[in-house]
């Protein structure tokens, strides 16, 4: 571990926008799916290292609601990759007490992907280690609209709608807000990821493309986070 890291100030919840697989592949003259495959390897390392560092919640943005706009074969390839990922990782995740969680509307995913997800959720549901959330067909605005629908349908009076009630009706109901949001590949946007939950998050952007995001790069991001002065809108 990087000796400059303060072990007592590791963020409890880290959320990551894994971006740049396509550009990484293109730079190598390879098809985009080659990049996604490499991205899967990077993800494996980051999940492992989150446990080593003592991160309690890790949330990754894999496919946005806009991912449907990708070419059809790329979309299908990504869903196959998800099945492959769980196929090769679930035993290790479970052995390490990782609890798998999915945020987003995964109800319309291909049957094979849904099966893999269901198996992973079922197998790890009682685990008390790292809570590892994967955003699939997730959009932050969609999540907020759904929360409002749920609240109205449950018959709550307008006067009783609070921020806390909203939070409890999001996909992340049981998960604290992320202290740190990391985005790879240099883009300076949240892209509709955890827009409610990241209201006070520190955002760290690295130019590194996701397949090149190693545990050392991860630690650099946490170090940058530890150097920030978090005021939550107030003054110190």
Stretch that binds ligand FPP, among 37-45, 110-118, 194-202, 216-224 (CB under 6 A): 37-45
93 is an interface residue for ligand FPP by CB under 6 A: no
Binding mask 99-138 for ligand FPP (x = CB under 6 A): -----------------------------------x----
Angstrom distance (rounded) from CA 89 to CA 213? 19
Collapsing DSSP states into helix, strand and coil, what is residue 11? coil
183 is an interface residue for ligand FPP by CB under 6 A: no
77 is an interface residue for ligand FPP by CB under 6 A: no
Report angle CA 14, 85, 52 to the nearest 5 degrees.
Answer: 40
Q: Residues 3-26, buried b or exposed e (16+ Cβ, 10 A)?
A: eeeeeeebbebbbbbbbbbbbbbe
62 is an interface residue for ligand FPP by CB under 6 A: yes
Cα dihedral: 173, 175, 181, 187 (round 10): -40
55 is an interface residue for ligand FPP by CB under 6 A: no
21 is an interface residue for ligand FPP by CB under 6 A: yes
98 is an interface residue for ligand FPP by CB under 6 A: no
Among 13, 16, 19, 124, binds ligand FPP (CB under 6 A): 19
**Strand (E) or helix (H) holding 143:** helix 140-153
Binding stretches for ligand FPP (CB under 6 A):
18-23, 32, 36, 39-40, 43, 62-63, 67, 81-82, 85, 134, 210
């Amino acid at each position: 571990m990087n000796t400059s890291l303060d072990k007592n100030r590791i963020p409890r919840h880290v959320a990551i926008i894994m971006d740049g697989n396509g550009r990484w592949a293109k730079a190598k003259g390879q098809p985009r799916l080659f990049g996604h495959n490499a991205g899967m390897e990077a993800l494996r390392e980051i999940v492992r290292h989150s446990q080593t560092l003592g991160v309690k919640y890790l949330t990754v943005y894999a496919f946005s609601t806009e991912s449907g706009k990708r070419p059809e074969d790329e979309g299908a390839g990504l869903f196959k990759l998800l099945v492959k990922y769980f196929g090769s990782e679930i035993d290790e995740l479970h052995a390490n007490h990782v609890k798998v969680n999915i945020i987003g509307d995964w109800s319309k995913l291909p049957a094979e992907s849904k099966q893999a997800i269901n198996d992973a959720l079922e197998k790890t549901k009682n685990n008390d280690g790292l809570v590892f959330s994967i955003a699939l067909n997730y959009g932050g605005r969609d999540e907020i609209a759904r929360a409002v629908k749920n609240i109205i349908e449950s018959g709550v009076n307008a006067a009783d709608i609070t921020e806390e009630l909203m939070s409890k009706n999001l996909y992340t109901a049981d998960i604290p807000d992320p202290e740190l949001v990391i985005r790879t590949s240099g883009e300076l946007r949240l892209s509709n990821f955890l827009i409610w939950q990241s209201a006070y998050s520190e955002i760290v952007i690295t130019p590194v493309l996701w397949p090149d995001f190693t545990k050392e790069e991860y630690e650099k991001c946490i170090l940058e986070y530890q150097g920030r002065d978090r005021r939550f809108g107030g003054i110190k």
